[in-house]
Homo-oligomer: A and B are copies of this chain.
Amino acid sequence: MPVTIRDVARASGVHISTVSRTFSAPHLVNPETRVRVLACAEDLGYRPNRAARALITGRTHNIGLIIADIANPFFPPLIKAAESQARHRDYHVFVADTNEDAAAEEELVHALAKQVDGVLLCSPRMSNSLIEQLSREVPLVVVNRQLAGLPCVLMDVGQGARSAIEHLAGLGHREIALLAGPRGSWTSRELRRAAGAAARAAGAELTVLGPNPPTEAGGLAQAEQVRRAGVTAVLAYNDLMAIGLLEGLDALGVRVPQEVSVVGVDDITLSRLTRPKLTTVATPTAAAGRTAVDMLLQHDTEFPRTGRGGGAAVAVGARRTTAQVMLQTELVIRDSTAPGPYAGRDGPGATAAGPGPHRRADPGTPSVVAGDVVAS
């Protein structure tokens, strides 16, 4: 029933190889023949069978997208951008959700490996060594995790955390809490490291609470601890937690930002809609999705992964980029941060309320590109 290359060949009176070439190497076939074949193909509604093509070329024209939690609003813009970018390059995207589970991640990479030309690992919870091991099975691009020797797309949350802490310190906060993210999260470690350093530099004290699930519930559950810790400002791992915290503090009768200032990370759509509107570190999510796909497919035209007689070519030519792209973040000041107890007093950085509100501008272009192309 399904129409194959053979049907097109019969209809247009040429050999199947000519039909094949009409699609995959048009310059090799006579223009007249080409239009005839194309017309027949159109007529019959022929579409090349990708499975058969994959079998021989070794390239599936599919990529895998492994996501910690699709329901986390951080990810949909990334998925959308990646899917769109992939489709422009004639790739289709498998999406899989791990529920924040490292074991599921590993299994998914294995399961997808044979079906895709590469996998985007978004905010993985696995160990670095496991990721490295898996990268020998299938090309990997890692988002939100830094790994030597692997292509990574990073968001500069360190810079974001610094900006946030400086903003808070500038407002006169000295006792700041950090709501950590999930165990295994590179972003959470980065945040902690940078926020700690920035706090020290600003003469503020940083209390780390967590790890926590990166959800609204995770933030809500920490409201009590935040109050008990006696801090006047909080930096949360992400907006979802910040919003949960907003709710929790509200329930406890703690006013934001009058009594406690709250800063999130991500700038999800939601963060503009809460009351108070959330001050947050905007991350260029869509750009990350696009960039990751581009990095994965960088060499797609040059080097087939396997295929007939390709043994040597693969060994010699299958270079993989290990470039690491760092995308800029930006502090977006809204209504959830306000002057704290030391406002106006002397002290490092206690100058002003910082620069006025920013509009988020998705940078789209990397600020830092490190690494190089090496033979794998």
Task: Check A96/B96 contact, CB under 8 A, given A51-B55, A55-B51, A71-B80.
Answer: no
Partner-contacting stretch, out of A107-115, A151-159, A256-264, A349-357? A107-115
Copies of this chain per assembly: 2
CB distance from A239 to the nearest CB of B (A): 11
Q: In whole angstroms, what is the CA distance A306 to B1 when docked? A: 8
Binary per-residue interface labels of chain A (106-144) against chain B in the complex, 1 for a CB within 8 Å, 0 otherwise: 000011111100000000000000000000010000000
CA distance A2 to B77 in the complex (A): 34
| Stretch of A20-28, A230-238, A267-275, A326-334 on the interface side | A267-275
In the docked arrangement, what's the CA distance between A14 and B231, Å?
Answer: 69
* Chain B residues, Cβ within 8 Å of A270: 270, 273
Chain B residues near A95 (CB-CB < 8 A) = 65, 79, 83, 93-95
Q: How far is the CB of A216 from chain B (nearest CB, A)?
A: 7
> What residues of B have a CB within 8 angstroms of the CB of A269 in the complex?
71, 73, 216
Determine whether the beta carbon of A97 is less than 8 Å from that of B70.
no
Query: Are A76 and B84 neighbours in the complex by a CB distance under 8 Å?
Result: no
Query: Given the known A-B contacts A55-B52, A92-B94, A115-B50, are A73 and B70 also in contact in the complex, defined by CB atoms under 8 Å?
Result: no
Restricting to A248-284, which residues have a CB under 8 Å from any CB of B?
A: 269-270, 273-275
Min CB gap A185→B, angstroms: 20
Q: Indicate with 1 or 0, residue by residue over A26-52, a CB within 8 angstroms of chain B CB atoms.
A: 000000000000000000010111111
Which of A1, A55, A60, A70 is the most central at the interface, judged by chain B CB atoms within 10 Å of its CB?
Answer: A70
CB neighbours of A48 from chain B (8 A)? 114
In this assembly, does A243 line the interface, its C-beta being within 8 Å of a C-beta of chain B? yes
A287, chain B: closest CB distance, angstroms? 15
State the Cβ distance, A236 to closest chain B Cβ, in Å. 14
- Chain B residues with CB under 8 Å of A60's CB are 51
Q: Is the C-beta of A299 less than 8 angstroms from some C-beta in chain B?
A: no
Chain B residues near A216: list those with CB within 8 A. Answer: 269, 273
Q: How far is the CB of A335 from chain B (nearest CB, A)?
A: 12
Q: Can you identify 16 A-B contacts, CB atoms within 8 angstroms?
A: A47-B110, A47-B114, A48-B114, A51-B52, A51-B55, A51-B60, A51-B115, A52-B55, A70-B79, A70-B80, A75-B76, A83-B96, A83-B97, A93-B94, A94-B95, A247-B273
Closest 5 CB pairs of A and B: A275-B275, A95-B95, A51-B51, A70-B80, A51-B54
